[in-house]
Chain A
Amino acid sequence: MKLAYWMYAGPAHIGTLRIASSFKNIHTIMHAPLGDDYFNVMRSMLEREKDFTPVTTSIIDRNVLAGGSQKKVINNIIRKDREENPDLIILTPTCTSSILQEDLACFVDRAQIEIKGDVMLADINHYRYNELQAAEKTLYQVVKFYLEKFKNKGILPQEKTKIPSVNIIGISTLGFHNQHDCTELKRLMEYLGIKINEIIPKGASVHNLKNLSKAWFNLVPYRELGLMTAQYLQKEYGTPYVNITPMGVVETARCIRRIQHLINEQGANVDYESHINEQTLHISQAAWFSRSIDCQNLTGRKAIVFGDNTHAAAMTKILTREMGINVILAGTYCKYDKEWFTEQVGEYCDQVLISDDNIEVSDAITSLEPAAIFGTQMERHIGKRLGIPCGVIASPIHIQNFPIGYKPFCGYEGTNQITDLIYNSFTLGMEDHLLEIFGGHDTKKFITKGISTNSDLSWNEEAQAELNRIPGFVRAKVKRNTEKFALEHKFSIITLEVMYAAKESVGT
């Protein structure tokens, strides 16, 4: 048992659901008790999704515990197949169903006989994998399942596309700024003259998976999702992959050079150097920013970075290498992949922290006192408590991290966005600091001022206590309204009754 208040990565089935509901026309059935379908709420709220999330639950209740869930699960699969005609139904276990140890694979086989679409069991273990690992595995599982199926049917295309083309692997629902990154990567590829072959899983249909083998190479922008699939495609179909995250000016250039190398090997004969040069010096503002006096003022300032592997590593490199900021600690919660992280950031920070315990992260921040933090929503709140500004760079995230405006982290526009994020975080902190030195704002008194100062109204003890219970942000308003009411009705002492009468009368 572990005492836990918060977690960075969700349970395994969330990963599976993220992959499944990124695809078009895949329905997922969770084998879970009532109330575990919280994923639907997250997707509908955070992504402001217009469509119904294609996830239902085959509910585990007392009857199921007594008699087994075989019939119920199979019926639910058949029902969904009839109602919505999905291409694929994925049955996913949850932590509760894992311990029941029912043979879900057997239910899936039984259901397959009766339905038109395909059905599979997500191969995830709740006590061994987290959300990210499960997403990685599920994407691999779906791709492998369909490629094998298409291969057996003999309908896999044998040829590569005529012009160089790419599959972008790893764009998914509820991923941090994934939608914007995807658009930016598409633009980048277009600029490089590379055709987008397929993008998976977001928006893809399982029927399109057969085209995967037509691409010249695969691009895996995020460390956490897609690598396993890319490795599989390399092994089975010889498609090389690029897994350099194009985040930051230097890394984007490195990614493009790697792409150039891979497609030239296949006879493309391209030279992207002038493109990189043009973008770096004249289109992206990040390189110029590094040289400007604004950035000069950031030299040597202390920052802490914490997040998933992809974003924490990329941010650490950007801060140190491109802006001259002193990263005193870089950390990740991807404990299962810590070697990679340590190797990536080793030379760019003073100290590495591998932990999924938010208290440990909080303690580190408290004792190191950086000028700015770049982390998840949890670090943002730690920063709030300590009065240190924080830029959010990775999941777990809130609704404000799903902006409507165009805010990629990848590619050249991404470098501009990241520059703003970093610069704003530092200057906000500076501004607060200066305000404090010069005595701060002096407007606070006026905000809470009531009517009572120039009248003989008084609040009795109970009413005062009740007033204090009212949340701070509306207290002044309640106080004013109550006093206005008391004056109008000629009460000189405000009691609880007067307060309630005032509330009842508001708006009449």
Chain B
Amino acid sequence: MTHESTTLQFDCETGNYHTFCPISCVAWLYQKIEDSFFLVIGTKTCGYFLQNAMGVMIFAEPRYAMAELEEGDISAQLKDYEELKRLCLQIKHDRNPSVIVWIGTCTTEIIQMDLEGLAPKLEEEIGIPIIPARANGLDYAFTQGEDTILAAMAHRCPKKKEKKERNAIPKLLNFKRQKEYITQDDLEYIEHPSLVLFGSLPESVVTNLTLELKKQGVRISGWLPSKHYRKLPIIDEGYYINGVSPFLSRTATTLIRRRKCNLISAPFPIGPDGTRAWIDKICSVFNIKTKGLEEHETKIWNSLDNYLKLIRGKSVFFMGDNLLEISLARFLIRCGMTCTEIGIPYMDKRYQKSELDFLEKTCQKMGVPVPKIVEKPDNYNQIKRIYELRPDLVITGMAYANPLEARGINTKWSVEFTFTQIHGFINARDILELITRPLRRNNNLKKLGWEKLVKEENNF
């Protein structure tokens, strides 16, 4: 398969691919939002997935649970409202969270349980905010779960006026206010319209990106989601917003349409090239001249040289399952790799426009053909293409990783990219650490002649 085109080509296959169910986002969101409780309303299948996908997390008294539907719920012999009320009261009693997020699943979709209708009524009755979000496998893949939840949460962000009212009494009682973000001398910031970032990232990455922007004089006035539900950022009409991850298109749409915000479309801050382009774009929107950015990027690239030596000229193939693929491919191409195919569950060409342009530009700059972007890939066909292409590295889900390794093909488990810190200058090394791990390992084993460990080629 050779295509030497210099503009991006898009393809769409059958959608027969492996990915995680979007309810998996509770795994990182419950940790991020410390006063939340996630209730997944679904069946044993959902529960079994969560329990297995989250490994040891499940034993750490997590703030999530299943509302497991039984036969009586399906056949509507039991009243949804009464049942949910019973469970939510129990959660309130045991954990007393500031918010309960209901995750609707495939089953609630099919039996048309009216979660959006029940939530406000129950919220009023039990006195805890309830946010219904639909993160089901009928409509979404893996990380898009976070998108549906943040989109639902965007509606709860206060406006300037209500925030004051809401905080009036606690403020009186709480003289020593806790610092929400890094508050430094206001003089260090340049005057610009309010900027709110969206996308769930670990606290240390939040701090790091906040500081990177601060160096340019840009102040982040809030972050969706914040560490606590009670401290969701103020979002007013005319605010500028920017998404830090590639899978947040619904959240972006919600903020644009419902909260009348202006979206700054930028490449995502993944890799030093992405981070620089991201800061550049935000600064350019605010008419700020960046300083020291190029030097910083160069410094990072220099520090990565040992890793770059390992992957330069090697080829990578993305099977596609978490929507980070475009940004990662762009970064790896800039690192000197080639990429023929980027599989991706869903491609929002508007939300990812800057990133797509950046990918195209990066390919031109590096003098390599642009990859083909395959939306809704077909894993069976992809594996055939992998056999033909024999790429140096396949980024794939765990279902295929061991079988491919046994056939002498290097793989990296894609899910690790969603659980590792990959944003900002500082984490570029961690991405390459992951990417080069199979190559380094297999270099170590090279002399042993143990590459193909299956007897005959099973015709998958």
Contacts and interface: CB of A to CB of B under 8 A. Distances in A.
A4 B110 contact: no
B68 A2 contact: yes
Nearest to B405: A50
A457 to B, nearest CB: 21
A34 B21 contact: yes
Contacts of A500: 208, 211, 426
Interface in A1-40: 1-7, 10-11, 13-14, 32-38, 40
Contacts of A384: 59
B45 A504 contact: no
A217 B84 CA distance: 52
B48 A56 contact: no
B206 to A, nearest CB: 11
Contact of B110 (A65, A84, A130, A381): A65
Contacts of B444: none
Nearest to A79: B380
A1 B204 contact: no
Nearest to A384: B59
A398 B140 CA distance: 28
B51 A7 contact: yes
Contacts of B107: 95-96, 99
Contacts of A296: none
B288 interface: no
Q: How would you classify the secondary structure of chain B's contact residues: helix, strand, loop or mixed?
A: helix
B78 interface: yes
A326 B15 CA distance: 56
Contacts of A52: 383, 399-400, 403, 458, 460
A337 interface: no
B18 interface: yes
Given A84-B459, A95-B107, A469-B204, A5 B65 contact: yes
Interface residue tally of chain B, by bracket?
Answer: 35 or more
A36 B137 contact: yes
B399 A100 contact: no
Contacts of B49: 35-36, 38
Contacts of B87: 1, 3
Given A35-B19, A35-B22, A469-B203, A50 B403 contact: yes
Interface in A57-88: 57, 59-62, 65, 83-84
Interface in B2-20: 15-16, 18-20
Interface in A343-393: 378, 381, 384
B59 A1 contact: no
A100 B74 CA distance: 11
Contacts of A128: 71
B293 interface: no
B16 A10 contact: no
B142 to A, nearest CB: 7
A235 B81 CA distance: 50
Contacts of A5: 58, 62, 65-66
Interface string B29-70: 000000000000101110111011101001100100111111
Contacts of A40: 18, 399
Interface stretch (B125-133, B232-240, B298-306, B312-320): B298-306
Interface in B90-136: 90-91, 106-107, 109-111, 136
Contacts of A462: 182
Contacts of B106: 33, 60, 96
A359 to B, nearest CB: 11
A507 B429 contact: yes
* From B52, B136, B142, B398, residue with most partner A Cβ within 10 Å: B52
B402 A44 contact: yes
Contacts of A96: 43, 45, 106-107, 110, 137
A94 interface: yes
Given A5-B58, A42-B52, A507 B306 contact: yes
A2 B49 CA distance: 17
A44 B403 contact: yes
Contacts of B425: 504
Contacts of B160: none
Given A2-B68, A33-B137, A61-B15, A11 B403 contact: no
Interface string B416-460: 000000000110010000000000000000000000011000111
Contacts of B52: 38, 41-42
B366 interface: no
B271 interface: no
A95 B460 contact: no
A126 B45 CA distance: 9
Interface string B275-310: 000000000000000000000000110110010000
A1 B15 contact: no
B44 to A, nearest CB: 4
A2 B70 contact: yes
Given A3-B87, A44-B399, A496-B211, A60 B138 contact: yes
Given A35-B141, A56-B16, A500-B208, A100 B67 contact: no
Contacts of A3: 65-68, 87, 90-91
B404 to A, nearest CB: 9
B66 A11 contact: no
Contacts of B47: 4, 6-7
A142 B207 CA distance: 58
A65 B138 contact: yes
B58 A10 contact: no
Which 5 A-B residue pairs are closest in the complex by CB-CB distance?
A: A35-B21, A33-B137, A40-B399, A50-B406, A95-B43
Given A34-B137, A41-B399, 14 more contacts: A1-B68, A1-B87, A3-B67, A7-B47, A33-B106, A34-B138, A35-B141, A37-B399, A38-B20, A40-B18, A44-B402, A52-B403, A65-B110, A99-B74
14 contacts: A7-B44, A34-B140, A35-B22, A38-B21, A50-B453, A50-B454, A52-B383, A53-B399, A56-B16, A59-B15, A60-B138, A65-B110, A95-B107, A96-B137
Interface of A: 1-7, 10-11, 13-14, 32-38, 40-42, 44-45, 48-53, 56-57, 59-62, 65, 83-84, 94-96, 99-100, 126-128, 130, 378, 381, 384, 396, 398, 462, 466, 469-470, 496-497, 500, 503-508
Interface of B: 15-16, 18-22, 41, 43-45, 47-49, 51-53, 55, 58-59, 62, 65-71, 73-74, 78, 83-84, 86-87, 90-91, 106-107, 109-111, 136-142, 182, 203-204, 207-208, 211, 299-300, 302-303, 306, 380, 383, 397-403, 406, 425-426, 429, 453-454, 458-460
